Amino acid sequence: NFRGTLIAALGADDSIGVEEGYIQGIGLSHGLGIKAGRFLSSVGYLNEIHPHAWDFVDAPLANKVFLGNQLGEDGVQLKWVAPTDTFLELGAEIGRGRSFPGTNRDKNGAGAGNLFAHLGGDIGASTAWRLGLSHLRTTAQNRNYDELDSSGTQVNNSFDGSSRLWVLDGVLKWAPNGNSSDNSLKLQGEYFRRNEDGNLTYDTAAASLVGTQTGTLRSAQSGWYAQGVYQFMPRWRVGYRYD
């Protein structure tokens, strides 16, 4: 069976942008599933959840830094659920890599790939858990960002190279006998680590006047968040997040 999904958003200039628009094959044989079009990437846990369903009004700091708030992809995603008692899901994505940490490139072909695995199960009738591991590889071409130099002047830099991101995520959900209408508890967290290799052009405006100010760049960054949300009565919840 195949179904289509389209989610659009109205911009500040009254323009309409497509957030998600894809065709999805569900209930295919041998536990396979496929998605093609524009969709939210399955890198990590929170990224593929629409913001309207988030527990907090904004994304964690780590998601903002490593995924530009939320990573969307134009491409194809394939998933496989193993026929086992313990939930095991493997998946892969390939696409343009149009969004940060990648960029739109001046050539055809795939610009990003993501591999992910999920493992989960139940603990009794009230508790469920899931662990996930993702690996995103993408390429940036003239990825610009602003910073302040030593004199306090804002300059624009440009990065060209490869970006590799690992994400380890986990979630634990509790609800009495699986009924979350009255009481529930949800704990979740994600750890990110990114390595980038390539060339960095410092102060692109000055470089265009006095010549290239480009050098090699190798960087490693990491970050994480953990949060918990407790529903103590219908429609009332309290939560805390550490970034």
Q: What is the DSSP letter of 53?
A: G
pLDDT at 26 over 70: yes
In which residue are the tokens 């602003």 written? 146
Report the pLDDT value the prediction gives residue 197, as an integer from 0 to 100: 96
Report the pLDDT value the prediction gives residue 10, as an integer from 0 to 100: 59
pLDDT at 58 over 70: yes
**CA-to-CA distance for 160 and 141, rounded, in angstroms?**
5
Report the pLDDT value the prediction gives residue 54, as an integer from 0 to 100: 96
| Better pLDDT: 40 or 150 | 40
pLDDT of 62-86, one tens digit each?
999 999 999 999 999 999 999 999 9
One-letter amino acid of 63:
N
pLDDT of 229-240, one tens digit each?
999 999 999 999
- Strands of 124-213, DSSP E: 127-148, 154-174, 184-201
Question: How far separated are the first and last CA of the chain, in Å rounded?
Answer: 40
pTM: 0.88
